Chain A
């Protein structure tokens, strides 16, 4: 555990001591800002019973942030260490492979959540000026951030996996972007297929990331979605671990 924290701190520091870290934060803040503008415009025009978080989600900037930011956050994690050779110094200390994967993923997730904090600010501003506590209660806000946490976990684990595959950060970013977009597109496929009892349609319906996140934004926490996200995250982390271990049997 001591080793995990040492690694976690180092990885987190690497985000905050690098320009990339701030570029990512700035980009996410900018996109959140855009969505805030759209949100305020919507609020001004027609009254709606929707919670603010759902209105925010429906501005569609959400997925742009997830799909663009996660590959950039994770591309460095393994690829850079492999390219610079520090992977060798790292793996010849007392660290275990699991610790390395866990620490890198946790640090990326922590940073990702940190970068989302401006959204919280936006939501509070809305709440302050509308004087409507009902539009933004703790439940919907909790749902929204749980959704951000879970989707982030999934896409970041995917990025970790992509980064572990290659020495090139660029290639890692592209692989995770392509994988991420495909996964996201699968969600639309789920919507296009009419609900039926056929097993294939049922399986695909679990990949409806778009709709699942919509639920979270409304403050509806569906355990099926939570389990889906969590297990998919663990699957990709497990695959990452196998790749890291692969130097032992390759």
Chain B
């Protein structure tokens, strides 16, 4: 659906996007993740045909976004950063206006506006002035606008920013429901969001794509460093002896917990799951085991690790 190759965008003497390449297959929900200023919005602006690339090519549905701009724009529903709307217009009026701008006929635009208002749960607000709507409603108006001409590709720049948890939930559910019919590219700097919604994550930083994979794979890649935490009631010396003699354990750390319990933080050798082994040992020795967990690296850790150098630079 999207093919970006060697895209570079410079403006104002700054390189906002630096030679990035990625592809998005039809039906994917891809999240562009990165701190502010990473080049997410710029990438999206180029994709939407608002600005041309300095170099490199961007194709949407096989069409060049600069040369076949009209055709590409027909296939894209784009919601820019901060979801700009006309505050003086009414919801239905705005959506109809937008439908007309997107080349829909009079009759067709009416039908589509009704459909998207239904889809985005806006029907009860159709006569209200946009400027007086709550942020959650406004965001849904923006989404409805992006959907009104039935685009193949939907590009949403930070769709959940500034919403309260309830509103975020409803907007996320809405975006997720788009997956079967549309390809979706969203940008965000909120991690749980990509974990929940996206089938693939692109981590951007300083105008480059640092990683691109499914959220699960990214976590797996980091799994080597994950630790097993076990709380066992046993003599300290016995525990030490056991962990030292266990070949699967690379290193360990014991701390006394309340009562007879000791908290063992065990680092396994690459990729091994120690949990069954630990349970086996506890049962053999008749030790009480009250906790056994694997601390999984969340996307947050991955993100922090990947984006670390610049945060330090900035500070």
Contacts and interface: CB of A to CB of B under 8 A. Distances in A.
B102 A93 contact: yes
Interface in B44-68: 45, 48-52
A95 interface: yes
Contacts of A89: 78-80, 84-85, 98, 145
A91 interface: yes
B74 interface: yes
A85 interface: yes
Contact residues on A (Cβ < 8 Å of other chain), bracket: 20 to 34
B213 to A, nearest CB: 29
A18 interface: yes
Given A14-B88, A94-B70, A85 B49 contact: no
Given A92-B48, A94-B74, A248-B52, A86 B97 contact: no
A92 B82 contact: no
Contacts, number: 66
Contacts of B49: 92
B96 to A, nearest CB: 9
Interface string B76-91: 1011111011101100
A3 B100 contact: yes
Given A3-B103, A247-B51, A250-B11, A85 B80 contact: yes
The dominant DSSP class at the A interface is helix
Contacts of B101: 3, 6-7, 90, 93-95
A18 B129 CA distance: 13
A17 interface: yes
A76 B64 CA distance: 33
Nearest to B146: A89
A88 interface: yes
A73 B218 CA distance: 55
B73 interface: yes
Contacts of B81: 85
A198 interface: no
A84 interface: yes
A92 B100 contact: no
A15 to B, nearest CB: 10
B11 A91 contact: no
B124 to A, nearest CB: 22
Given A10-B97, A86-B85, A92 B78 contact: yes
A14 B87 CA distance: 10
A84 B85 CA distance: 8
Nearest to B88: A17
A91 B84 CA distance: 13
Contacts of B52: 248-249
A143 B64 CA distance: 51
A2 interface: yes
B98 A91 contact: no
A158 B3 CA distance: 42
Nearest to B129: A17
A91 to B, nearest CB: 6
A91 B70 contact: no
Nearest to A94: B103
A215 B88 CA distance: 41
A90 B48 CA distance: 12
15 contacts: A3-B103, A7-B101, A10-B89, A14-B88, A17-B88, A85-B81, A88-B48, A88-B80, A89-B85, A92-B49, A92-B78, A93-B101, A94-B70, A94-B74, A94-B101
Closest 9 CB pairs of A and B: A85-B84, A6-B100, A93-B101, A94-B103, A86-B84, A88-B80, A92-B48, A92-B78, A93-B102
Given A13-B89, A248-B52, 20 more contacts: A2-B100, A2-B103, A2-B105, A3-B100, A3-B103, A84-B84, A85-B82, A85-B84, A86-B85, A88-B50, A88-B78, A88-B80, A89-B78, A89-B79, A89-B84, A89-B85, A90-B101, A92-B49, A92-B78, A93-B101
Interface of A: 2-3, 6-7, 10, 13-14, 17-18, 84-86, 88-95, 247-250
